[in-house]
Amino acid sequence: MNIRLAEEKDISQLIKMRWDFTLEDDETGQIKETSFVEFEKECRDFLENALKNDQWFIWVAEEHGKIVSHIYIELIQKVPRPGRITYPFAYMTNVFTVKEYRNKGVGSRLLAEINQWAEEQKYEFIIVWPSEDSVSYYKKNGYVHGSEAMEFISS
């Protein structure tokens, strides 16, 4: 299993995974009636821009060239405060592992890599709004409940 930051060559896989992820949670069935072509263009534009800047970091776990899990991190800059160095915090979103790789530790390995990276970069914390089904996943990986969200606080 290779854990790394996404590259331009990954864009088509990431688009398909985002589509599949959304369809999987679509209880109404309305998403499958939307245009994949339109979504693909919008998502490709987003990913191309995200991979070129220092605001988004898309982490992937791949096996034999296939991305099997991903986590998107957006850095949120904070307004500086007198008397201390101001570091950004990270917003985590679009956490997804393909079905065949779930409950096998792939997501936890990916998240552990991100937590270590966040500490090395001195990001103040990572915030995530988990689904009810994913709360235990975050808790077992060092996240704690805040009043509304969960966060990983660097030591």
CATH number of the domain that 106 lies in?
3.40.630.30
Residue range of the domain that includes 57:
2-153
Q: Summarize pLDDT for 134-148 with one digit per residue, the tens.
A: 888 999 998 988 766
The CA-atom distances, in angstroms, between 64 and each of 3, 27, 60, 68, 152 are 12, 32, 13, 10, 30
Number of folded domains that form the chain = 1
Q: Summarize pLDDT for 111-141 with one digit per residue, the tens.
A: 999 999 999 999 999 999 888 888 889 999 9
Decide: helix, strand or coil at residue 102: coil
Decide: helix, strand or coil at residue 24: helix
Residue of 12, 109, 94, 111 lying closest to 56 (CA atoms): 94
